[in-house]
A and B are shown apart, each in its own frame.
Chain A
Protein backbone atom coordinates (compact mmCIF):
# COMPACT_ATOMS: atom_id res chain seq x y z
CA UNK A 1 0.00 0.00 0.00
CA UNK A 2 1.06 3.58 -0.63
CA UNK A 3 2.70 5.38 2.29
CA UNK A 4 2.94 9.12 2.92
CA UNK A 5 5.57 10.23 5.44
CA UNK A 6 5.53 13.58 7.23
CA UNK A 7 7.79 14.96 9.96
CA UNK A 8 6.05 14.64 13.34
CA UNK A 9 6.62 18.27 14.23
CA UNK A 10 7.71 21.63 12.88
CA UNK A 11 8.38 24.69 15.02
CA UNK A 12 8.38 28.21 13.64
CA UNK A 13 8.52 31.74 15.02
CA UNK A 14 5.70 34.17 14.24
CA UNK A 15 6.23 35.97 10.97
CA UNK A 16 8.58 33.31 9.63
CA UNK A 17 7.97 30.56 7.08
CA UNK A 18 6.96 26.98 7.89
CA UNK A 19 7.55 24.19 5.39
CA UNK A 20 5.87 20.82 5.89
CA UNK A 21 6.99 17.95 3.72
CA UNK A 22 5.07 14.89 2.58
CA UNK A 23 7.16 12.08 1.17
CA UNK A 24 5.90 9.30 -1.07
CA UNK A 25 7.17 7.16 -3.93
CA UNK A 26 6.91 9.30 -7.08
CA UNK A 27 4.35 11.52 -5.35
CA UNK A 28 4.99 14.11 -8.04
CA UNK A 29 2.85 12.00 -10.37
CA UNK A 30 -0.13 12.29 -8.04
CA UNK A 31 -2.38 15.14 -6.95
CA UNK A 32 -1.73 16.10 -3.32
CA UNK A 33 -4.24 17.73 -1.00
CA UNK A 34 -3.56 19.26 2.42
CA UNK A 35 -5.74 19.62 5.51
CA UNK A 36 -5.42 21.72 8.65
CA UNK A 37 -6.81 20.32 11.88
CA UNK A 38 -6.99 22.42 15.02
CA UNK A 39 -7.50 20.73 18.41
CA UNK A 40 -10.99 19.36 18.85
CA UNK A 41 -12.03 20.33 15.33
CA UNK A 42 -12.58 18.55 12.05
CA UNK A 43 -9.97 18.78 9.29
CA UNK A 44 -10.27 21.69 6.87
CA UNK A 45 -8.99 21.57 3.29
CA UNK A 46 -6.32 24.24 2.79
CA UNK A 47 -4.67 23.14 -0.48
CA UNK A 48 -5.95 20.95 -3.32
CA UNK A 49 -4.41 19.82 -6.61
CA UNK A 50 -0.90 20.39 -5.16
CA UNK A 51 -1.12 24.18 -5.00
CA UNK A 52 -4.68 25.51 -5.33
CA UNK A 53 -6.36 27.26 -2.43
CA UNK A 54 -10.07 26.92 -1.59
CA UNK A 55 -11.94 30.16 -1.15
CA UNK A 56 -11.36 31.64 2.29
CA UNK A 57 -7.88 30.18 2.72
CA UNK A 58 -5.22 32.92 3.05
CA UNK A 59 -2.66 33.40 0.30
CA UNK A 60 -0.01 32.67 2.95
CA UNK A 61 -0.75 28.98 2.33
CA UNK A 62 0.87 27.51 -0.76
CA UNK A 63 1.91 24.12 -2.03
CA UNK A 64 4.25 22.37 -4.41
CA UNK A 65 4.84 18.81 -5.55
CA UNK A 66 7.71 17.22 -7.42
CA UNK A 67 9.64 13.98 -7.44
CA UNK A 68 9.19 12.15 -4.16
CA UNK A 69 8.18 15.14 -2.02
CA UNK A 70 5.22 17.47 -1.74
CA UNK A 71 5.51 20.59 0.40
CA UNK A 72 3.01 22.81 2.18
CA UNK A 73 4.42 26.27 2.86
CA UNK A 74 2.93 28.69 5.34
CA UNK A 75 4.36 32.20 4.97
CA UNK A 76 4.26 34.92 7.62
CA UNK A 77 3.12 32.39 10.21
CA UNK A 78 0.54 33.50 12.74
CA UNK A 79 -0.42 32.03 16.11
CA UNK A 80 -3.69 30.87 14.59
CA UNK A 81 -1.78 28.58 12.19
CA UNK A 82 -0.82 26.30 15.07
CA UNK A 83 -2.45 22.98 14.17
CA UNK A 84 -1.88 19.50 12.79
CA UNK A 85 -1.46 19.28 9.01
CA UNK A 86 -2.11 16.20 6.87
CA UNK A 87 -1.34 15.49 3.24
CA UNK A 88 -3.58 13.14 1.22
CA UNK A 89 -3.52 11.43 -2.16
CA UNK A 90 -5.59 8.99 -4.15
CA UNK A 91 -3.70 5.82 -4.94
CA UNK A 92 -4.80 3.49 -7.70
CA UNK A 93 -1.45 1.86 -8.29
CA UNK A 94 -2.36 -1.44 -6.64
CA UNK A 95 -5.35 -3.63 -7.37
CA UNK A 96 -7.66 -1.40 -5.37
CA UNK A 97 -8.46 2.27 -4.93
CA UNK A 98 -7.27 3.93 -1.72
CA UNK A 99 -7.38 7.40 -0.26
CA UNK A 100 -4.21 7.75 1.78
CA UNK A 101 -3.44 10.29 4.47
CA UNK A 102 0.01 11.27 5.62
CA UNK A 103 1.20 10.66 9.15
CA UNK A 104 0.54 14.24 10.15
CA UNK A 105 2.72 17.16 11.26
CA UNK A 106 2.14 19.27 14.34
CA UNK A 107 3.04 22.89 13.69
CA UNK A 108 4.01 24.82 16.81
CA UNK A 109 4.26 28.60 16.71
CA UNK A 110 6.98 29.66 19.14
Chain B
Protein backbone atom coordinates (compact mmCIF):
# COMPACT_ATOMS: atom_id res chain seq x y z
CA UNK B 1 0.00 0.00 0.00
CA UNK B 2 1.48 3.31 -1.07
CA UNK B 3 2.16 5.74 1.77
CA UNK B 4 3.56 9.25 1.85
CA UNK B 5 5.04 11.06 4.85
CA UNK B 6 5.98 14.72 5.10
CA UNK B 7 8.86 15.85 7.27
CA UNK B 8 10.55 19.13 8.09
CA UNK B 9 10.56 22.06 10.52
CA UNK B 10 7.24 23.11 11.95
CA UNK B 11 8.37 26.68 12.55
CA UNK B 12 10.03 28.99 10.04
CA UNK B 13 10.99 32.62 10.49
CA UNK B 14 9.67 35.31 8.14
CA UNK B 15 11.87 35.90 5.06
CA UNK B 16 13.51 32.49 5.44
CA UNK B 17 13.06 29.36 3.32
CA UNK B 18 10.56 26.64 4.14
CA UNK B 19 11.93 23.16 3.38
CA UNK B 20 9.91 19.93 3.46
CA UNK B 21 10.56 16.40 2.30
CA UNK B 22 8.06 13.71 1.33
CA UNK B 23 9.14 10.10 1.74
CA UNK B 24 7.32 7.55 -0.38
CA UNK B 25 6.98 3.95 0.78
CA UNK B 26 5.21 0.96 -0.71
CA UNK B 27 5.93 2.10 -4.25
CA UNK B 28 8.56 3.68 -6.47
CA UNK B 29 8.83 7.39 -7.07
CA UNK B 30 10.36 6.47 -10.43
CA UNK B 31 6.99 5.37 -11.72
CA UNK B 32 6.43 6.46 -15.30
CA UNK B 33 2.69 6.78 -14.63
CA UNK B 34 2.57 9.48 -11.99
CA UNK B 35 3.77 12.89 -10.99
CA UNK B 36 4.23 13.77 -7.32
CA UNK B 37 2.76 16.92 -5.82
CA UNK B 38 2.51 19.40 -3.02
CA UNK B 39 -0.74 21.00 -1.82
CA UNK B 40 -1.22 23.35 1.11
CA UNK B 41 -4.13 24.42 3.28
CA UNK B 42 -4.03 27.56 5.46
CA UNK B 43 -5.81 27.11 8.79
CA UNK B 44 -9.57 27.12 8.28
CA UNK B 45 -9.24 27.62 4.52
CA UNK B 46 -9.31 25.61 1.32
CA UNK B 47 -6.77 23.62 -0.66
CA UNK B 48 -4.14 25.30 -2.84
CA UNK B 49 -2.01 23.43 -5.38
CA UNK B 50 1.69 24.32 -5.09
CA UNK B 51 3.42 22.24 -7.73
CA UNK B 52 4.23 18.80 -9.12
CA UNK B 53 7.32 16.91 -10.26
CA UNK B 54 7.97 13.88 -12.47
CA UNK B 55 10.70 11.39 -11.59
CA UNK B 56 12.78 12.84 -14.42
CA UNK B 57 12.72 16.25 -12.75
CA UNK B 58 10.11 17.90 -14.96
CA UNK B 59 8.02 20.34 -12.93
CA UNK B 60 4.88 22.46 -13.02
CA UNK B 61 4.35 25.23 -10.48
CA UNK B 62 1.39 27.34 -9.41
CA UNK B 63 1.93 30.66 -11.21
CA UNK B 64 1.10 32.56 -8.03
CA UNK B 65 3.99 30.87 -6.19
CA UNK B 66 6.36 30.11 -9.07
CA UNK B 67 8.93 32.78 -8.24
CA UNK B 68 9.44 31.32 -4.75
CA UNK B 69 8.97 27.56 -5.23
CA UNK B 70 11.42 24.80 -6.05
CA UNK B 71 10.42 21.13 -6.10
CA UNK B 72 13.10 18.47 -6.52
CA UNK B 73 13.23 14.67 -6.56
CA UNK B 74 15.74 12.16 -5.19
CA UNK B 75 14.96 8.79 -6.75
CA UNK B 76 17.72 7.05 -4.78
CA UNK B 77 15.95 7.91 -1.54
CA UNK B 78 12.40 7.64 -2.95
CA UNK B 79 11.79 11.22 -1.83
CA UNK B 80 10.75 14.53 -3.26
CA UNK B 81 11.15 17.93 -1.65
CA UNK B 82 9.64 21.39 -1.49
CA UNK B 83 11.44 24.68 -0.93
CA UNK B 84 9.48 27.92 -0.55
CA UNK B 85 11.58 31.04 -0.17
CA UNK B 86 10.91 34.43 1.40
CA UNK B 87 8.04 33.14 3.50
CA UNK B 88 5.54 35.35 5.29
CA UNK B 89 2.71 34.68 7.72
CA UNK B 90 0.49 34.04 4.70
CA UNK B 91 2.49 30.86 4.05
CA UNK B 92 1.40 29.36 7.37
CA UNK B 93 -0.47 26.21 6.40
CA UNK B 94 -0.72 22.46 6.56
CA UNK B 95 1.46 21.18 3.73
CA UNK B 96 0.47 17.90 2.09
CA UNK B 97 2.40 15.76 -0.34
CA UNK B 98 0.49 13.44 -2.63
CA UNK B 99 0.89 11.09 -5.53
CA UNK B 100 -0.40 12.61 -8.68
CA UNK B 101 -1.55 13.61 -11.01
CA UNK B 102 -1.10 10.76 -13.45
CA UNK B 103 0.40 11.44 -16.85
CA UNK B 104 -3.09 12.34 -18.08
CA UNK B 105 -3.02 15.17 -15.55
CA UNK B 106 -5.87 14.15 -13.30
CA UNK B 107 -6.27 13.56 -9.56
CA UNK B 108 -4.12 13.33 -6.43
CA UNK B 109 -4.28 10.07 -4.48
CA UNK B 110 -3.17 9.10 -1.91
CA UNK B 111 -2.10 12.00 0.31
CA UNK B 112 0.30 12.19 3.21
CA UNK B 113 -1.07 13.07 6.62
CA UNK B 114 0.13 16.67 6.27
CA UNK B 115 2.47 18.78 8.36
CA UNK B 116 1.70 22.17 9.86
CA UNK B 117 4.26 24.85 9.12
CA UNK B 118 3.96 28.09 11.04
CA UNK B 119 5.76 31.22 9.88
CA UNK B 120 6.58 33.36 12.89
CA UNK B 121 9.52 35.10 14.49
Contact = CB atoms under 8 A, between A and B. Distances in A.
A87 to B, nearest CB: 10
Q: For chain A, give the interface size range.
A: 20 to 34
Interface residues of B, number: 22
Given A97-B60, A99-B49, A101-B47, A33 B111 contact: no
Contact of B37 (A1, A45, A99): A99
Contacts of B109: 44-45, 48, 54
Q: Is the interface of B mostly helix, strand, loop or mixed?
A: loop
A90 B60 contact: no
A42 B105 CA distance: 21
Nearest to A48: B107
A49 B21 CA distance: 29
* 4 shortest interchain CB distances as A-B pairs: A33-B107, A45-B109, A42-B111, A101-B47
Interface of A: 1, 31, 33, 35, 41-45, 48-49, 54, 86, 88, 90, 92, 96-104
